[in-house]
Structure 1
Amino acid sequence: MLKKYLWIAIICLTSIQISNAQQSPWPIISSQTKPWTRWWWMGSAVDSSNLSICLRAYAKAGLGGVEITPIYGVKGYESRYLNYLSPEWNKALNTSISLARQNGMGVDLNLGTGWPFGGPQISQDLASSNYFIQKYQIQAGQNERLMVEIQQPQQYKKGAYLQALTAYADTGETLILTDFVQKDGTLAWSPEKGTWSLYALFMGKTGQKVKRAAPGGEGWVMDHFSEKAFQQYIKRFDDSWKKVPEVRSFFNDSYEVYEANFTPDFLQKFQYLNGYDLRFYLQELASNELSEKVSRVKADFKATLNHQLTQGFMKPWTDWAHAKGKKVRNQAHGSPANILDLYAQADIPECETFGSTYFPIKGLRRDTADIRKVHPEPLMMRFAPSAGHVMGKKLISAEAFTWLTEHFRTSLSQCKPEVEQLFLAGVNHVFFHGTTYSPAEANWPGWMFYAGVNFSPNNTFWPHLSGLNSYITRCQSILQTGKPANDVLIYWPIQDIWHQTGDVLQQIRVHEVDTWLYPTPFYQIAKRLKTKGYSFDFISDKQVLQTKVENGLLKTISDASPYKVIIVPKTKYMPLETLEALQKLATAGAKIIFESLPADVNGLNQIEERRAVLKKINQGISSWAQISNLDSMEELLAKDAVVTEELVATGLQYIKRKAKEDTYYFLVNHTEKNIDTVVKINEVGKSVLLLDALTGKYGDVPFQKNIKGVNIRIQLKSGESVFVLVQNKLSDSAKKWKYEEEINATDLSTKQWSLTFQTGGPILPQNRTLKNLDFWTNTTDTTAQFFSGTALYSTQFEWKKSTSRYILDLGQVAESAKVFVNKQEVGILWSVPFQIDISKYLKNGTNVIEIEVANLMANRIRYMDQHQISWRNYHEINFVNAHYKPFDASNWKVMDAGLKGPVRIIETR
């Protein structure tokens, strides 16, 4: 009988535990909610044993997947190189996929080596191309025959050839003379009278080869405007793979095809798309004048490049991948095209951060000498998420932390606000940039890529990386739930950019926002709306044409989120098709706001006829749309039930998502102040929970209903974040959120501390006793100044517990820490403020606190360079600093390392 009741008790207890587990508001964790990383294979010199070691370490640290990108190799390991797509290479790839699966990880594959796409399979005729124009003059009665021949020896060697020859008379007459040019270049034509200017259009080659190519991947960069070139490129993969590798998706890096602006059938495509023959406008194409005609011809040229890139590359690539059951992950930025449409064609659109952002967060280290003179633009980050949101994509990825700081000087704490900035833009699937495969036998610091943060086991912050990974995982578990909940669509007038005279190659680059983004009314509206607390995405001409109205709301496809209004910034050149589509949407019940009337139509063909139509539409536009300048736009938005989130007035930033009838808000405090105030949330619910992605804690909070939603108290220190879950049901959570009110603090810094060096190098310094808590580098001991690794600070103290909560505050930490109280691991402190709840670990009487601190790799690298110890030994670009100069750390100052404090126990209630 006793056994019977014991089993009943066990069953009941188990049921209670299962019930409590089911009540957790945190979504289920999967490999896809974890951060992934770009996995560079240097020389593809990989083997099954080291692949297994690496992937086990990555999985243990909390990474959810890898993107394999083969690149150039390490000197001295040539015998281990695996030729790209060889049977041996394919075997290593399949081994990696199998090992990743065993470790619960996913795999993506860069569909090339280095970047951009290209290789030995690309013949010169299908390599990236450009045009060049040569000018001649000929007169009536000229005795000597004119020779139309290439004047650039290098282009002649690359196989450049004449595409068109156009003659312009001083009287205004124009003739196409291409057919009069003989094989030897002799022009079999002469004018009967007057002087003629001749413009010869040649198709040449850029001469670009694959950048950072792996062995077997070297060769010409392909012509991205030619489907024929893509088919030649992809045939190598089809021939190499008997079975398509079991990867999740194929990846394409940012568009870095230099000077490519032409393709063999460009003239025919141009005429088909624009309705006129470009050969009659070679004079305008060659001109640098700021004239309207030149501007329109070049805009049509850019529109043709846009069409060729989307139809000649992106479409056949996605079609090929989908036919094989795979997804496409694509970085569109850098392309000479409407990047919203390119992002939208991918299954997983991907943006990137490049450089370091200034955040005024208290205690966040930022040394301007460590960073490139570029900074990520938050609104630039919104292009990939916007395309994904508008087109109903589930995942928006980002290449994170590219050149965040100088090598070896990036802390985990610096990564937190940068990744939060991505989340606020709409990203929900982060890829580290990155992790280099490094065999176990490689000497420290192991193999490394030249342009990324070294998220590898040899990095001294690796023992604490799981802290960052856990935070990102919890954030992404929510940010991948439901759908984005943005109210406004802002039309991006790409034609205004294309009509800027100058180079016909208008690339939308991350690093050039000061030319194509900052000067525009589009940017001013987006920036204003963001500051005022509106939620929005961007929309392209093509997407406007795809949009429909359902119950007064705007949706591009059935799975996409609905929007309440489209705002059209001040626009000079608008396609008639877009304007007519907006009118049709308005007639169906959509809300459209124009900052001003569209001034003109785009392009050159039938311009007067189209202007007449534009004028007629503009005359009646007030009957179906609203016209408002920027200052009074908020009033119109309010009439359309688009309201601001007033919480931004506190300095908080937010993004929100709808999960059926519930709503998640992600709130971030990137200001220099602590925020503790009541904020308004524009969602109505029956219960409200707060969720801390840093610790995993959550709890109900009291709230008051207001006209728009609910009022709740938000308490966030500088640098902190929290999720708000507004539920349309009563909470089933037994946990209550605990706010902190400090009532007392005990300083442990004056205690005697012991310092024990644990792991690292070049050698372990002597252990010591500290009378005053301090960084281990604030000593005359050079072994400590050179040391990179982990060390344990420990002390003991007497304590008498009460019902209060106790928060351990470490003060200054260089750079991350793992905390133990009475031999129990409490957690990892890797971001500011370095605080953690230790209430349940303290006891009455004598307590012991141990703090394992990891510094960065910089001091040891400084030692190696000062002692001329070889560690960079790579083919091609043999390691450069953040400014692309030869790397040398010998003159660096010693970086602070260790724990300075003050270490305090803060009593709260």
Structure 2
Amino acid sequence: MGLAQNFWPTIKKEMHPWTRWWWMGNAVDEQNVASLLKQYHDAGIGGVEITPIYGAVGYEQRYLDFLSPKWMDVLNYTVKEATSLNMGVDMNTGTGWPFGGPQITPELAASKLLIQKYPLKAGDALTEKIQVNDARQKAVAKLQAVMAYGDKGEVIDVTAKVAADGTLNWKPTTGNWQLLAAFDGKSRQMVKRAAPGGEGLVMDHLNKKAVDVYLKRFDDAYQGKIPGINNYFNDSYEVFGADWSPALFDEFQKRRGYDLKQHLLELSSKDSTNENVARVKSDYRETMSDMVLHNFTENWTDWTHKNHSKTRNQSHGSPGNLLDLYGTVDVPECETFGSSYFPIPGLRRDSADVRNVDPDPMMFKFATSAAHVNGKPFASSETFTWLAEHFKASLSQCKPEVENIFLSGVNHVFFHGTAYTPQDVPFPGWLFYASVNFSPTNTFWPHIKGMNDYITRCQSVLQDGKADNDILMYWPVYDVWNKASGMEMLLAIHGINAWLRPTQFYQQSKQLTQKGYTIDFISDTQVGATKVVSGMLQTNVNASPYKVIIIPECKMMPVATLRNILQLANNGATVIFQKLPEDVPGLNDLEGRRKVFKQMLATLKFSAGKNSISEFKTGKGSVLLASDLQSALDFKQVKREALTDSGLEFNRRRIDGGKYYYLVNHTAKAIDQQIILNGDGKYAVILDPQSGDSGMAETSSANHQLTVHLQLKSGEALILKVYNQQKPAVNNWVYLNKPTKTISVNNNWNLHFTAGGPELPAGQKLSKLGSWTELPGPKVTAFSGSGVYTSTIFLPVKTAKEYVLNLGRVAESAHVWINGKDAGILWANPFEARIGKYLHAGTNTIKVEVANLMANRISDMDKKGIQWRKYHEINFVNINYLPFDASKWQPMASGLIGPVTVVGYN
């Protein structure tokens, strides 16, 4: 069925999935660009994100230098060709990652604080010259400060006493001293996986001049002719070892109000318990956050707006407040890395082929919350990075993973990814070192449109209206920063066991979400911008209002944040503290700020209530204190969606006249029950994103709640479009209530192979189904591609209201025709389709095209020593970043394994 139906929003290019398009070695030309874009478009992809990257060995003569006139010609052609197909083009503002390149001189490169220590006694002169010791830093490091620390607590700035040659012209008169010399050194990090013309030093993201110089190269290449880029992209912040910037001392003084040079001892301290060390480092981390925000993120976003484009940014990994960094860009982007476990029956998950990581929906919510709180229409995701080992990731494994990010609020998916491959490059084509390979060379490509249509239907709904979440959860970033160990703090996905998961913020957010509450995270800055309108919290004019703000247990909170929170309550908001904060962060004017902080807390005159809930009524609103947050929410009648008790998960959207509920069953069992929804809904239409079908649900309404009859098999998703008033004109949804006799498709099957390699095996007549790798003949175990199965069933009379085809086990995806009519692509568990409208009384023909994965053919190539992986840079690695070798793989089960049945329902 078509995508644009009565009850589905009109499809736009952003609603299709997009893909990261690696331009391998920039070996691109107009003929191949046109051909590939057409293939992507026909498969249901709505746009590409160009990321130039390292290239394939042997094709160097085709390489184009990044931003050269010839490269710009191909870029402009790509935009023109994509536009003609109603596709969009995003572009990485660089090659590889992080940002850097030939325009970045050592002066503008990522900086590293180097501290050298010298002992000095009273009356002695320092005989050693104060010069950087690291031979690799001698040509680039610059002395920024020399501080003298006495044994009686004295601190003297002797920087001005250091001559140009490093001689110190200063002697202490009494006591024992330690000198600390601070140098602005360089991390020496080069752009990782750079494309031709993009090689060079990584820039200093904290330095506005460095960012300006970096971006000027693009302006120079454009020569006033701005390419029609939708969004400029920046990958996750992976600037390693860069804990400094030349202006940091000055920025610190301006922003924190005291001289960091006076506290070099604390900043460089290895003491992990000292309170003042933690406070200085917290101030240092906050300053880095400010500099990344203003000098890079805002600066880059301003540049893209001048170029009539927008920014798409992965803020995670940055040394900053993720919510503010995400909130500054136009499209905040999270990423899925690795594979999640789902108890869906039949879903393949081989432990040897997945990374030992667990994508965490709470981490996704930093990006989606920033979008929701700031009223931005899109939250995107780099999706399926290292979902499974190369050539072993199936479309069925993609489905629950992408559903997890939809449930977290993402509504603009980018595949990771698609390598540009010219037509004359043999199988398996050019490949990126991290799977999955969403390319026409992949054997699942004939069926990818099934998944893409599903994603498009989901995103058409998830981009409609606004996010409809009830609770703001304050993120206590100062507790994260207030650690005495280490220096800079990169808030990365792979570090969440240290900085995120142990916190009450995380644990309460996760527990409340599982209970059916809807939550977005909010930062200190965003709290300060929030207003109260009719008792609701309005974070942005384009955002949905929130019912309550929760302050989870935290130790540190700035005076300004506490003042803003209490003012919100006074203006009519409901504020819930899990526990009152204890202290202010940072070191400057500590006692003065503590005094104000304690005075503000003392104004909270709580009266004891029920269930250990204390309440302080102030102005038009109230402040609650409750260790049990759910009890406090119940007390304030902030309702949860009880549908989660069934095991369902959901994402709710607000639209004119009603709401959408995106519902997913990731449990091991089918769900068939009455589900209660909050709100004033009167009617509900069921939208099936798997097939595009729609129908009126069985409902009843009472007491501001709508009860809906839902049926979801394990692995299925449905969308409810809830109407508050007007009853929509639509046929009733057909429920599968009373199964009649099950018809087993056990006639002989004819199998013939239609596409793939290395050679097409001979066709066979099958008396029973099983993996085609177990069939006789030498070609079947090495074969990757498609085979078509044909059989018949006899239906004496067509009496049932609906008939459901179940293919049983499919390795790995299928396209079904019944009596010559297209019955759809079955690409994920359960491999089922409603086929009643295609059946007739008498003999019916069933044709099933099944595609296996690339693994068996790749394994055969490695066993035969066929050289197919020759790349510059990282070449090709397995899921554990070791050299890739498939020669010892056992053949993967392939084809239609069954059993195949047809069940009638009345």
The bucket for the TM-score relative to the shorter chain is: over 0.9
Determine if the alignment matches structure 1 residue 185 to structure 2 residue 181. Answer: no
Can you list the C-alpha shifts for 1:50-101, whole angstroms capped at 9, x where unaligned? 1111000000000000000111111111111111111100000011111111
Cα distance in 1 between the residues matched to 2:574 and 2:725: 32
Pairing 1:367-766 to 2, within 5 Å after superposition: 367-621=350-604, 622=606, 623=616, 624=618, 625-631=622-628, 633-766=629-762
1:49 to 26, 31, 34: 31
Cα distance in 1 between the residues matched to 2:722 and 2:337: 34
Cα distance in 1 between the residues matched to 2:8 and 2:637: 31
Note if contact 1:749-1:901 (Cα within 8 Å) is conserved in structure 2.
no
- Post-superposition shift, 1:798? 2.0
Match of 2:845, as an amino acid? V
Cα distance in 2 between the residues matched to 1:543 and 1:764: 60
Equivalent position SS for 1:260: coil
Note if contact 1:596-1:627 (Cα within 8 Å) is conserved in structure 2.
no
Note if contact 1:83-1:89 (Cα within 8 Å) is conserved in structure 2.
yes
Cα distance in 1 between the residues matched to 2:547 and 2:120: 62
Can you list the C-alpha shifts for 1:325-370, whole angstroms capped at 9, x where unaligned? 2111111000010010011011111110000000111111101110
Pairing 1:268-347 to 2, within 5 Å after superposition: 268-289=250-271, 290-347=273-330
- Post-superposition shift, 1:182? 1.1
Can you list the C-alpha shifts for 1:432-489, whole angstroms capped at 9, x where unaligned? 0001110011000000111131000000000000000000000000000000110000
Determine if the alignment matches structure 1 residue 880 to structure 2 residue 877. Answer: yes
Q: Mark the CA change 1:714 to 1:797 in structure 2 (over 3 Å): closer, same or farther.
A: closer
What residue is the counterpart of 2:852 in the other structure?
A: 855
Structure 1 residues without counterparts, runs of 5 or longer: 1-16
What residue is the counterpart of 2:136 in the other structure?
A: 154
Indicate the RMSD between aligned Cα atoms, in angstroms.
1.4
Determine if the alignment matches structure 1 residue 32 to structure 2 residue 32. Answer: no
- Post-superposition shift, 1:144? 5.8
Cα distance in 1 between the residues matched to 2:3 and 2:144: 70
Can you list the C-alpha shifts for 1:791-819, whole angstroms capped at 9, x where unaligned? 01111232223231111100000000000
Match of 2:350, as an amino acid? D
Match of 1:882, as an amino acid? I
Match of 1:735, as an amino acid? N
Equivalent position SS for 2:779: helix
2:207 to 214, 218, 226: 226
1:99 to 76, 81, 102: 81
1:138 to 100, 116, 120: 120
Cα distance in 1 between the residues matched to 2:335 and 2:286: 25
- Post-superposition shift, 1:685? 2.1
Equivalent position SS for 2:478: helix
Cα distance in 1 between the residues matched to 2:773 and 2:729: 47
Cα distance in 2 between the residues matched to 1:650 and 1:144: 74
- Post-superposition shift, 1:584? 1.1
Equivalent position SS for 2:361: coil
Cα distance in 2 between the residues matched to 1:298 and 1:80: 49
Determine if the alignment matches structure 1 residue 117 to structure 2 residue 99. Answer: yes
Equivalent position SS for 1:777: helix
- Post-superposition shift, 1:745? 4.3
Match of 1:199, as an amino acid? L
Cα distance in 2 between the residues matched to 1:23 and 1:786: 43
2:891 to 887, 890, 894: 894
Cα distance in 1 between the residues matched to 2:333 and 2:806: 37
Determine if the alignment matches structure 1 residue 213 to structure 2 residue 213. Answer: no
What residue is the counterpart of 1:238 in the other structure?
A: 219
- Post-superposition shift, 1:23? 7.6
Match of 2:648, as an amino acid? L
Structure 2 residues without counterparts, runs of 5 or longer: 607-615
Cα distance in 2 between the residues matched to 1:425 and 1:152: 47
Cα distance in 2 between the residues matched to 1:229 and 1:260: 14
Cα distance in 1 between the residues matched to 2:730 and 2:328: 45
Can you list the C-alpha shifts for 1:23-63, whole angstroms capped at 9, x where unaligned? 81110011111000000000111111111110000000000
1:349 to 317, 332, 344: 332
Percentage identity across paired residues of the two chains? 49
Match of 1:900, as an amino acid? I
Note if contact 1:749-1:772 (Cα within 8 Å) is conserved in structure 2.
no
Note if contact 2:25-2:195 (Cα within 8 Å) is conserved in structure 1.
yes
Match of 1:116, as an amino acid? P
Cα distance in 2 between the residues matched to 1:34 and 1:531: 29
What residue is the counterpart of 2:157 in the other structure?
A: 176
- Post-superposition shift, 1:844? 2.1
Match of 2:209, as an amino acid? K
- Post-superposition shift, 1:744? 3.1
Can you list the C-alpha shifts for 1:616-669, whole angstroms capped at 9, x where unaligned? 1111124345343442x2232133331010110110001100011210001110
What residue is the counterpart of 1:821 in the other structure?
A: 818
What residue is the counterpart of 1:11 in the other structure?
A: none
Note if contact 1:699-1:733 (Cα within 8 Å) is conserved in structure 2.
no
Cα distance in 2 between the residues matched to 1:192 and 1:136: 16
Note if contact 2:4-2:10 (Cα within 8 Å) is conserved in structure 1.
no
Can you list the C-alpha shifts for 1:192-236, whole angstroms capped at 9, x where unaligned? 122101111111000011111110010111100011001100111
- Post-superposition shift, 1:132? 1.6
Note if contact 1:348-1:396 (Cα within 8 Å) is conserved in structure 2.
yes
Match of 2:898, as an amino acid? G
Note if contact 2:457-2:692 (Cα within 8 Å) is conserved in structure 1.
yes
Can you list the C-alpha shifts for 1:857-882, whole angstroms capped at 9, x where unaligned? 00000000111101111111101111
Question: TM-score, normalised to structure 2's length?
Answer: 0.97
Note if contact 1:391-1:560 (Cα within 8 Å) is conserved in structure 2.
yes
Note if contact 1:392-1:557 (Cα within 8 Å) is conserved in structure 2.
yes
How many pairs are equivalent? 889
Equivalent position SS for 1:153: coil
Equivalent position SS for 1:793: strand
Determine if the alignment matches structure 1 residue 76 to structure 2 residue 58. Answer: yes
Cα distance in 2 between the residues matched to 1:596 and 1:119: 48
- Post-superposition shift, 1:571? 1.1
Cα distance in 2 between the residues matched to 1:782 and 1:194: 87
Note if contact 1:44-1:82 (Cα within 8 Å) is conserved in structure 2.
yes
What residue is the counterpart of 1:812 in the other structure?
A: 809
Match of 2:109, as an amino acid? A
Note if contact 2:148-2:155 (Cα within 8 Å) is conserved in structure 1.
yes
Note if contact 1:801-1:842 (Cα within 8 Å) is conserved in structure 2.
no
Match of 2:655, as an amino acid? A
Equivalent position SS for 2:580: coil
Can you list the C-alpha shifts for 1:496-525, whole angstroms capped at 9, x where unaligned? 000022112111111111001111010111
Match of 1:273, as an amino acid? R
Cα distance in 2 between the residues matched to 1:438 and 1:202: 47
What residue is the counterpart of 2:236 in the other structure?
A: 254
Cα distance in 2 between the residues matched to 1:344 and 1:66: 23
